[in-house]
Amino acid sequence: MKCNHYEENVPNTYFWRTHDQAEIDYIEDLNGWLKAFEFKWKAGKICFPESFLNAYPNNQTQVINHDNFESFVGIAYQFGNL
């Protein structure tokens, strides 16, 4: 969100869930392109719901975790240097 603000991007933001409780944590819609994000602190295999992938093909998906969150929030974080 901060990166979008600094880059003057103003995407529409959404949460997505089906009646069967399949969900996407965070979606950005910018100029008709969707970026879907799942947030998990621990790295591991994450599968995006097939119903979402089928309904919105050719869009970007990304898992944000402990190893890559800095680039998502737009900071170069170093432990111990606050």
In a domain, 8, yes or no: yes
Percentage of residues of the chain with pLDDT beyond 90 = 43
Q: How many separate domains does the chain show?
A: 1
- The model carries a pTM of 0.74
Phi-psi map region of 30: left, alpha, beta (phi>0 left; psi -120 to 50 alpha): beta
With 70 as the cut, is the pLDDT of residue 79 above it? no
Give the residue numbers spanning the domain of 1.
1-32
Least confident of 6-10, 47-51, 66-70: 6-10
In a domain, 43, yes or no: no
- What do you get for the CA distance between the two ends of the chain, in Å? 20
Give CA angle at 32 (71, 3), nearest 5°.
Answer: 20
**pLDDT at residue 35 in the model:** 93
Dump pLDDT digits (tens) for 20-55: 999 999 999 988 899 999 998 877 788 899 999 999
In a domain, 51, yes or no: no
In a domain, 78, yes or no: no
